[in-house]
Structure 1
Amino acid sequence: MAKETIFTNGQIILGDRVTNGDVVVRDTIITDINNTSTQIKNTIDLEGDYLLPGLIELHTDNLEKHIYPRPGVRWPTTAALLAHDSQIIGAGITSVFDALAVGDVRDDSARLQDLEEIANGIDNAYRTNLLRADHYLHLRCEVSCNCLPDMFRPLAKRKIVRLISMMDHTPGQRQFLDPEQYKSYYAHKWGKSLSEIDEFIQRQTVEGNHYSVPNRAFISAHCQTHGIPLASHDDASPEHIEEAMGLGATIAEFPTTVVAARVARELDLEVVVGAPNLVCGGSHSGNVAAAEMAADGLVTTLSSDYVPLSLLHGVFRLSKPEIGFSLPQAVACASAVPARTVGFTDRGEIAVGYLADLVRVQILGDLPVVAGVWRNGERVA
C-alpha cells in the first residue's frame, strides 16, 4: 500500500515563486502541489516555515576533515564517512559529490596513499545504502602531477563518478598568481621554512610545465568519451576559460577574478562560487569576493566547499537586497542548477514527478536553520 504524506502550512519554494499550500508525497515521489492547506491524517504542519528542495552539493572537501581530523591521525574510513554524512544531511544536502583529489603537489601526501581505500569506502556505502544522503564521486585531478593518469584510470571506472575537474597548483597559476602569496600560504599550511618552499616552488614549476598540458588533454578525452561533465578550477583569466571551453568544460569552479567569471558566463559555462566566501564576505586566499560576482549576475551555482552548512546560509545570503537574487533564484543555485549541470532529471525542484527530497527551514533572527530533511519521502534528519 502506498504511503502518502502531505506537507502543509509552509512557504513552498518553487522554481519561479514562493507559494503557500500543500505538497503531496506518495512513497518517494511528489505527486501534487496545491494552494490550499489541509488537516488530514499524515499531514506535517510546517507552521509557516520554508520548504526547499533538497540541496545538491557538487564539490565538498568535508570528508577529508573526518579522514584526517588531526595531523598524523587517520580515522577509520567507514566511521569517517558516517560522520561526514551526518554533517551533510544535517545541512539540508540530500545529494552530494564528495571531491577526491587525484594527484597532489606533494609526493608524500596522505591523499595519494589513501585514495583507493576512501573511494572503496564511498562505493561500498553507496551500494549498501549505508548513508542518508545520496553520495557520488567528484574526481579533482591535479594536472601538474606526474602520476595522474595511473591514479585516475582505476577510479574513473566506478559508476558513482559523475563529475571530474581539472586543478593546477603550479606556482604562478590560477589560485595563486602572486608567487609571494603562494609561498606564504604553503609555508604556513605545511610548517616549512621559506627556503624549503623556494625549493619546492622550483621543482613544482618544472613538473607543472611538463605535465599540465598532456594531463588536461587526457582528462578531457576521458570526459568526452564517457559523457561525464568536466569542470575547470580556479580560473584567473579569459585565456584559462577559453582553454577550458576548448577542452569541453561546462563548469568554471571558483574563478578567482571577475573577468574570468564574466567570460565564463559569456561562453555559457556554469559559474560555481564558494558559499564560505559568500558568508564570510571574501576569499580566504585573497581572491575576488563571491558577493561581488553574484551582484554582477555572474554566479549560477553555490558550493559549500569545506563548510556544509554554508550552502544553506549562502542561499539566503544571495537573496539579500544588496545582492538581489529572488529567493527561488537563490535556492536554484544550490538545487535546480547543479542538478541540471550533472544531468539529474529527477531532483532539484519541488515539482510533480520529482523525488521527494525536501528541507524544512526555519528563520531564527537572520539565520536559516534546518528543521527537517526528507530524502525519497523518508525523514532522515
Structure 2
Amino acid sequence: MQNNPAVVIDGATVVFGDRLERAAVRFENGKITAIDGARDGAEIIDGRDHLLAPAFVDIHGDAFERQIMPRPGTMFPIAASLLETDRQLAANGIATAYHALTLSWEPGLRSVENGRAVVEALNTLAPRLMVDNRVQLRWETFCFEAIDLIREALAGPKRPSIAFNDHTSMLLLDPSVSLQERPFDLDPAYPAMDPATPAFADKMADRAKRAKMPVVDMVAMVRAMWERRPDVPAAIEEVARLGREAGAPMLSHDDSQVESRDFYRGRGARISEFPMNMRVARAAREAGDFIIFGAPNATRGGSHLASIGAADMIREGLCDILASDYYYPAMLLGLARLKADGVGALHELWPLVSANPARALGLDDRGTIEIGKRADLVLIDWPEGAAPAVRRTFSGGREAYRAIAAGN
C-alpha cells in the first residue's frame, strides 16, 4: 500500500452498516484510521451536504466491452480501452471491479485470444490504473480452449473469480421453451433446435455480424460446438477443480432450474448469478448461497429480459448483491430508485453494492466504513429529490476521481 498522506472528510453524512450519521472519517496509508478522531496534520475535505459511503464493489460488469468494441465488429486497442474503462469506473464510484470477461468459442470480442489480451493488459496496466481492476473468468462451458488461460489467470497477481456459463445450450434452445424455464443444460433430453434449419440460420445473423463472418460459417461453428456436448461435464469438473484449488470465488450464471444450482454448488460455486425464476432463488437462499441481480434491473424497475425484478427479490430477501451488469452508473442509480420506491433505507440497501459483494468475493478488507478497512470511499452530491452525482472516489486512500460542479 502506498504511503498516502492523512485525509479527513469532515461533515458528510456517512453510510455506516447500521445507520446514517454525520461524522468525520480519517484515512491514511490506504486505510481508515479514525471516526471523529484527530485532525492533526491531515488534509481536510469539506463533506457538508454530501453523502460519504463505501465505494462500490462490482462483482460482474461487462460494460468494458463497449470500449473495446463500440460498434459491432469494430475493435479498438485493448490498453486504451481499459484505461478509459478505469476512468469510467472511478467516475461512477466503483473502486473494485470484476470485469465479466467472456471466454467463448466465438471469434472476435469474446474469443480466448481477446480474453488473454485483456488479462495480460490488466496485469501490465495495474500500476497506472486508478481503481482495483480484476477479472471474472466468464467461461463458456463448451470452450475447452480457454482452460489453459483460466489456469494461468488463477496463478496471476490478482485472484479472479470464475463464472460458469452455457450460452451454447441457450443458443440451441427450442423456441417453444422459455429461457427462464429451460431444463438443466446437461439434461440428456434437452430440447434443442436443429441447427440445419433456416430458422436457426436467421437466429445466427446478429451473432455472425458481431463476429464479422458469414452466417453460414457461424452456423457451421455452432454445429461443431454442439457436437462437443458429451465432453462438457468433464471440462466443467476440471475448471471447478482449478477454482477450488486456487480458492477462487465461483458463480453459476442464469440458473433456470434448482438442479442447475445444486449441480454448480456441488462443485464449489456458492454464488447464483442472475437466477431466472423465484424457485431457483429460493433454493439458493435455503442453501446459503449468495444471490446476484443486476443494478440496471433495479434502476429500470424490471429486467430487460422479462425475468424477475430485482426490487421484488430484495423485498423477498432473495437478493444479496447488485452488479453493474452492462451499465456502470446503475450501481448508484439503482440504490436511488430502490430508496425512492421505499424498498429499504439507504444504510440497509448499501451493502448490496459494497459489503455483500466484497464478502462473496473473499475481499474482507473492504466494503464498509470501519477503522482498519481499506479506504475505498465515494463522496456523493445528493440533494433531496434530485439525482445523485459522484464528486470524489478514493481507492485504497488515493483520490481516483474528483469532479467540481460549475456552481462551486
Q: TM-score of the superposition, structure 2-length normalised?
A: 0.83
Any unmatched runs of 5+ in structure 1? none
What residue number does 1:136 align with?
Answer: 134
Q: For residue 95 of structure 1, what is the amino acid of its counterpart?
A: T
What residue number does 1:158 align with?
Answer: 156
1:89 is displaced (CA, Å) by 0.7
CA distance in 2, matches of 1:40, 1:119: 40
**Within-5 A mapping of 1:261-272:** 261-272=281-292
What residue number does 1:120 align with?
Answer: 120
CA distance in 1, matches of 2:313, 2:33: 37
Q: Which has the higher mean CA deviation after the structures are superposed, 45-54 or 85-94?
A: 45-54
Any unmatched runs of 5+ in structure 2? 183-191, 194-198, 402-408
Change (3 A) 1:229 1:375: same
Q: Secondary structure at the match of 1:325?
A: coil
1:159 is displaced (CA, Å) by 2.5
What residue number does 2:101 align with?
Answer: 100
What residue number does 2:243 align with?
Answer: 223
Q: Secondary structure at the match of 1:344?
A: coil
What residue number does 1:359 align with?
Answer: 378
Change (3 A) 1:144 1:177: farther
Q: Secondary structure at the match of 2:245?
A: helix
**Within-5 A mapping of 1:61-76:** 61-76=62-77
Q: Secondary structure at the match of 2:139?
A: strand
Deviations 1:247-269 (A, max 9, x none): 11111111111111111111111
CA distance in 2, matches of 1:147, 1:351: 43
What residue number does 1:78 align with?
Answer: 79
Change (3 A) 1:141 1:44: same
1:117 is displaced (CA, Å) by 1.6
Change (3 A) 1:212 1:137: same
Change (3 A) 1:139 1:41: closer
Q: For residue 50 of structure 1, what is the amino acid of its counterpart?
A: L
1:45 is displaced (CA, Å) by 1.4
Q: Which has the higher mean CA deviation after the structures are superposed, 187-196 or 77-86?
A: 187-196
Q: For residue 111 of structure 1, what is the amino acid of its counterpart?
A: S
1:337 is displaced (CA, Å) by 0.8
CA distance in 1, matches of 2:398, 2:219: 54
What residue number does 2:344 align with?
Answer: 325
Aligned residues: 375
Q: For residue 87 of structure 1, what is the amino acid of its counterpart?
A: Q
2:68–2:75 contact (8 Å) kept in structure 1: yes
Change (3 A) 1:109 1:11: closer
Q: TM-score of the superposition, structure 1-length normalised?
A: 0.88
RMSD of the alignment, in Å?
3.0
CA distance in 2, matches of 1:277, 1:162: 25
Deviations 1:103-136 (A, max 9, x none): 23x356652332222211001112xx11001111
Change (3 A) 1:41 1:155: closer
1:162–1:342 contact (8 Å) kept in structure 2: no
Change (3 A) 1:92 1:84: same
1:57–1:334 contact (8 Å) kept in structure 2: yes
- Identity among equivalent positions (%) equals 27
What residue number does 1:22 align with?
Answer: 24
Change (3 A) 1:87 1:175: farther
Change (3 A) 1:213 1:380: same
Structure 2 residue 310 is matched with structure 1 residue 312: no
2:108–2:114 contact (8 Å) kept in structure 1: no
CA distance in 1, matches of 2:63, 2:180: 22
1:54–1:335 contact (8 Å) kept in structure 2: yes
1:313 is displaced (CA, Å) by 1.2
Q: Which has the higher mean CA deviation after the structures are superposed, 67-76 or 132-141?
A: 67-76
1:140–1:166 contact (8 Å) kept in structure 2: yes
Change (3 A) 1:183 1:97: farther
**Within-5 A mapping of 1:185-200:** 187-190=205-208
